Amino acid sequence: MDDPVLAAIRRSVVEVLPEVDGQLVTEDRSLTDLGANSIDRVDVVTMTMDDLGVTVPVVEFREVHDIGTLARLLRRHVR
Amino acid sequence: MTGGHEVVVTGTGVLCATAADTDAFADALRAGRSGIGVRPGSGVDGLSPRLAADLSGFDFRTAVAARSGLSEPLRRLAVRVAGRAPLPVQAAVVVALEGWQRAGLHHVPLPAERIGVVVAGHNLGGRYADEVRPRYATSPVHLPARYPLQFMDTDHVATVSHVLGVTGEGYTVGGASASGNVAIINGARLVSAGSVDACLVLGALTDLSAMELQGFYNLGAMAGTGGADAPGERCRPFDADREGFVPGQGAACVVLESAGSAARRAAPVWARVAGYALRLDANSLADPSAAGETAAMAGAVRSAGLTPERVGYVNAHGTGSAAGDAVEVEALRAVFGGAVTGVWVNSTKGLIGHTLCAAGVVEAVATLVQMRDGFVHPNANLRRPIAADCRFVGDRAQPAGIEFALSNGFGFGGFNTSVVFARPAVPSRRQP
């Protein structure tokens, strides 16, 4: 089963992009691969932070280029 | 109007407290159905507004799905682009889709760059800001990153153009409660000048924040300040016992098109935009001015090449406010003189509330369906008319064959507008 961070990302993706099959939300894919536009991507990030109860400075997202790097960044801030 | 292309209306769309499309609106108006009630959750202490004519049971996905005459990809795109948009933007998309379909633009298209979008309104998303604010207050970083796009009223133009693939001119225009007519005038100019062949004019749903509503309430402009018993009877335009306006949620669309383009596309022609006028009062206050309103109505009639007695119907601004209705009567007398006794007058706001920035477009649609169907709708709660010489419609719809109609819109800060619609094939001037 997923770790909580990937599960939260999956919830946000499916809410922002209802047409996307949640099973496609994997660490080797990017949000763009899943059909997210520029605003969808920031929405997914904000909603996931909210879901996990974490706050990440905007500057740290510069290193994010796919779902795997996003998950790793968020994991560093959980707890 | 002199010069330029003749401007006609080829499509309409509307969404308000009593109707989800144009035909339902025509039925609701004819029946005199009221959409005014007590807004759930409002205060009971008489210190804050309670009455509203809100949309009932609006669901964006259902509303888009109901436009089954449009292609499935277009409906899917609408949901994809606006599925999570604030209510006012979703309402704009829904009425734009109706106008698009009724004008046959899905069926016999125009080049994308020959279509424009003019949105009537400003300060449209106050209530949405109220919804988002707690998130910001708790944790600023969790404010939706989409918010900067959403709080700008231009999101209406952007979203509708995205859904419909429109690439001609587009912008928002404002004139307080006259915004709708200001937008119709701007759209008509774009078409008349040949800048576009067709222009979607959208009256945007003005969803006031609690603070903005309270401001109108404190100003004494709203009905229900003495309580909210018998909510359906509190908005009473042109009645001696009127007490102010009731805000209404509503949005509407008129598709303005050059007569040549409409003929080439064999589009249905509802009416011709025969004339218009916009006058300022040079006054920043909320006071209406008979001189300004007279100048707007008389100017519109003149620009249509008409004399006032040829106008058969006035869709009044008629908010139900004490000063506003009295001044509008004074202006009607000044414009029509002795002929005022023959001109039907009603106020749509008594039934669906004051849709604020959208009002001019909503009431243009009301005017157009009355012209099309040959009736004038009732005036809500008009028991003791403030003017015996005006031909106010009573509590029942009346049959009326309207050739020329005037639709008024007046706004705080001295905006006075009036637009003349002509039934198709009724020329203003004798042919040379």
pLDDT > 70? residue B240: yes
| pLDDT above 80: residue B231 | yes
Fold of B7-264: Peroxisomal Thiolase; Chain A, domain 1 (3.40.47)
Distance between CA atoms of residues A16 and A8, nearest Å: 12
pLDDT of residue B432: 37
Q: Which of residues 27-56 of A touch B (CB under 8 A)?
A: 39, 42-43, 45-47, 49-50, 55-56
Between A16, A18, A50, which is nearest B142 by CB? A50
CA distance A50 to chain B (A): 6
pLDDT-derived band of residue A2, with 50, 70 and 90 as boundaries?
low
Angstroms from B146 CA to nearest CA on chain A: 6
Q: Residues with Cβ < 8 Å from A54, sequence gap 6 or more?
A: A74, A77, A78
Residue B1 pLDDT > 70: no
CB contact under 8 A, B142 and A56: no
Question: What mean pLDDT, rounded, does chain B reach?
Answer: 95
The pLDDT value recorded for residue B48 is 87
Does A43 contact B144 at a Cβ distance shorter than 8 Å?
Answer: yes
Q: How far is A76 from chain B (nearest CA, A)?
A: 17
Given a cut of 70, whether residue B385 has pLDDT beyond it is yes
Banded pLDDT at B25 (limits 50, 70, 90): very high
B143 contacts on A by Cβ (under 8 Å): 46
What's the confidence (pLDDT) of residue B431? Answer: 40
For residue B430, the model assigns a pLDDT of 43
Of B45-59, B153-167, B224-238, B329-343, the range with the lowest mean pLDDT is: B224-238
Q: Summarize pLDDT for B103-158 with one digit per residue, the tens.
A: 999 999 999 999 999 999 999 999 999 999 999 999 898 898 889 999 999 999 99
CB contact under 8 A, A43 and B145: yes
How many beta-carbon pairs under 8 angstroms link A with B? 30
CB contact under 8 A, B144 and A56: no
Which residue of A lies nearest to B76 if distances are taken between CA atoms? A19
Residues 59-78 of A with CB under 8 A from B: none
pLDDT 10s digits, A8-66: 999 999 999 988 999 999 999 999 999 999 999 999 999 999 999 999 998 899 889 99
Q: Is A58 exposed, middle or buried (0-12, 13-18, 19+ CB in 10 A)?
A: exposed
Place of tokens 């998130």: B135
Report ipTM for this prediction: 0.83
pLDDT exceeds cutoff 50 at B209: yes
Strands (E), chain A: none
pLDDT in tens, B295-352: 999 999 999 999 999 999 999 999 999 999 999 999 999 999 999 999 999 999 999 9
**Residue B222, strand partner residues:** B245
Q: Which of B83, B142, B149 sits opposite A49 (nearest CB)?
A: B142
Q: What pLDDT shows up at residue B427?
A: 63
Q: How many domains does chain A have?
A: 1
Nearest CA in chain A to B79: A18
Distance (Å, rounded) from C-alpha A72 to C-alpha A26? Answer: 13
- Between B397 and B429, residue with greater pLDDT: B397
Task: Break chain B into its structural domains and give their ranges.
Answer: 7-264, 276-421
Tokens of B37: 């009630």
Distance from CA of A46 to the nearest CA of B (A): 6
Domain covering B276-421 assigned CATH 3.40.50.10130 in the classification: no
CA distance A48 to chain B (A): 9
What are the percentages of helix, strand and coil residues in chain B, rounded to 5?
A: 40, 20, 40
Q: Which residue of A has its CA nearest to B148?
A: A39
Nearest residue in chain A measured CA to CA from B143: A46
Give the whole-angstrom CA distance, residue B157 versus residue B93.
10
- Single out the residue of B200, B187, B195 nearest to residue B157, CA to CA: B200
Candidate from A16, A39, A58 with C-beta closest to B149: A39
Chain B (91-150) residues lying within 8 Å, Cβ to Cβ, of chain A: 135, 139, 141-146, 149
- Is it the case that residue A5 has pLDDT exceeding 90? yes
Mean pLDDT calculated for residue range B347-363: 98
Domain containing A29: what range? 4-77
Give me the pLDDT at residue B261, please: 98
Domains B7-264 and B276-421 share a fold: yes
Chain B partners within 8 Å of A19 (Cβ): 80
A15, closest residue in chain B (CA to CA): B84
A18, A46, A56 member nearest B144 (Cβ): A46
The answer to whether the CB atoms of A58 and B139 lie below 8 A apart is no
pLDDT of residue B425 exceeding 80, the answer is no
Hey, which residues 148-207 in chain B have their CB within 8 Å of chain A? 149
Task: Specify the 3-state DSSP secondary structure of A29.
Answer: coil
Q: Using CA atoms, how far apart are residues B241 and B238, in angstroms rounded to an integer?
A: 9
Backbone angles phi, psi at B195, to 5 degrees: -70, -30
Query: Above 60 in pLDDT, residue B419?
Result: yes
Tell me the CATH number at A65. 1.10.1200.10
Give the chain A residue nearest B140 (alpha carbons).
A55
The residues near A13 (Cβ < 8 Å, ≥ 6 apart) are A20, A22, A25, A31, A34, A36, A44
